[in-house]
Structure formats: structure tokens, C-alpha cells
Amino acid sequence: MPTERPVIAFFDADETLIAMKSPFSMLRWRLRREGDDGSRYEAVTEPIRRLARLGLTPAEVLDAFYAVFAGERWSDLLDEGREWFRDLEAEGVPLIESAVSALRAHQDAGHLTAIVSGAWAASLHPLAEFLGVDAVVCTEPALDAGGRLTGSIGRPMFGAAKSGAVQELLRRFGADPRDCHGYADDPGDLPMLEQLGRATVIGDHPRMLQLAAQRGWQVRSAATMRDTVRQPV
């Protein structure tokens, strides 16, 4: 008797599952722990935001973010990520209610869940553990032989790379893309959504709403869980 094929629900993370850009939230937390009143954070991040306003690609923008951490041990940053998330839990994790509700429904149905994100593992792994997500594929930093960040990206996870990551996970688990689900907020996630049978837009990005109307995709609110606050970059 044939075995039923698994179903996978793929989620972007930042601004889809959690109302923030998680690497920047972690940087803000780190600087605040060192006594920053916010001015140093602004000084560090404004040049990065300027690159985004100039229309550089997400990978080019994040290259500037990774440059801030050049010379640091990746293992230390992974540990810091867990500390950051513990503090975030104490404050109230700003999860996006509709997306997390969908994730819980998939888990209850016995579906596999995966995060495919341009953010880094330092902030995504604790989030995935908190939510019980089965797999995480994300941007990876370039490391030297000693495990220290070189200041650039080793493997970006944007656009076409997200499509490749989805295909790899579909092959790994033997899933049919027509049975699988995708949740995302931004046009950069379209290569992921377009190859899945069931797509859902989180939030109100105009281009995403237009495509949802044209293609019959679902749309869900990007409102956060009660008593939690969206974090700006």
C-alpha cells in the first residue's frame, strides 16, 4: 500500500513569523547590553539602511551588516543569539499572530514546517526552537579557518536561492510541491511561493496583495500577538 507523501509548510521568518528584522534586533540588544542608549545603534545601522534606500540587493545590504561582525567567532554569536531570545521572551516575543496560528495548524495536522529566510542562524535557531519548526535554511556568513566571520556573506538566502532551498527540502522529504504551503510577506519571497501549491501573503505589501488577488492566494494580517510590539530596524 503506498505511503502518503508528507506535506511541508514553508515560512519566511522576519516580518512573516516575527515582527522585526531579527539580526538587527539582536544587534540592538547587544549594543544596549554594552551601555548603548541607541545612538551607537543608529550610527552603525544608518549606513546599512542607506544602502537599502539606494536600491542595492538584499545580499549587498546584508554584506554591510556582516562587516560589523568581522573577526568575531560564529560560535559566540550563536550563543549570544540564545541569550538575546531569552531576553526577548521576557519582554514578549512579537510574533505575527496569523502566521503562527497557521504554523500551529500545520503542526497539529502532522505537516512538516520549515523556515527559509535571509536572516542568520544566530537569531533564527532560537526562534525555530521556540516554535518547534522542523528545518531552518538561511543566510550563512563567510568564515575563516578559525571559525571567525570574515565580514561578508558565505551563502545568501534570497530570491532564487530560496527557490533552490525549497526544492532541496522537497526532495529530501519526498514531498509534492502541489500539496505544500508557503507563507511570506515580500516580493523577494516570490521564487519560494510560486513553486508551491498553496501560497499565503502575510501583511499588506501592495505588490503581494496584487498578486494574491490575481492568483487566488490567501492574505493574512501582519498584526502581532496581544501585548507585544513590532520592533523597527
Phi, psi (rounded to 5 degrees) for 216: 75, 25
pLDDT of 2 reads 44
Q: How many CB atoms lie within 10 A of CB 100?
A: 18
User: Which portions of the chain are predicted below pLDDT 70?
Assistant: 1-3
The owner of cell 547590553 is 33
Q: Quickly list DSSP for 126-142.
A: HHHHHHT-SEEEEEEEE
Task: Say which residues have a Cβ less than 8 Å from residue 81's Cβ, sequence separation at least 6.
Answer: 26, 121, 122, 123, 125, 126
pLDDT digits (tens, 9 = 90+) for 117-126: 999 999 999 9
pLDDT of 1 reads 36
Terminal C-alpha separation, the chain: 52
pLDDT of 212 reads 97
Which three cell numbers, joined as nine digits, stand for 81? Answer: 543569539
* DSSP 8-class letter at 3: P
Q: How many CB atoms lie within 10 A of CB 106?
A: 18
Nearest to 115 by CA among 26, 15, 13, 1: 13
Which three cell numbers, joined as nine digits, stand for 195? Answer: 513553486
pLDDT of 4 reads 83
pLDDT of 3 reads 54
Q: What gap in Å lies between CA 8 and CA 183, rounded to an integer?
A: 11
- At the fourth CATH level, the homologous superfamily of domain 8-220 is HAD superfamily/HAD-like (3.40.50.1000)
Task: Say which residues have a Cβ less than 8 Å from residue 232's Cβ, sequence separation at least 6.
Answer: none
Nearest to 189 by CA among 159, 156, 169: 159
Q: What gap in Å lies between CA 29 and CA 20, rounded to an integer?
A: 13
Nearest to 10 by CA among 99, 129, 140: 99
The owner of cell 504551503 is 181
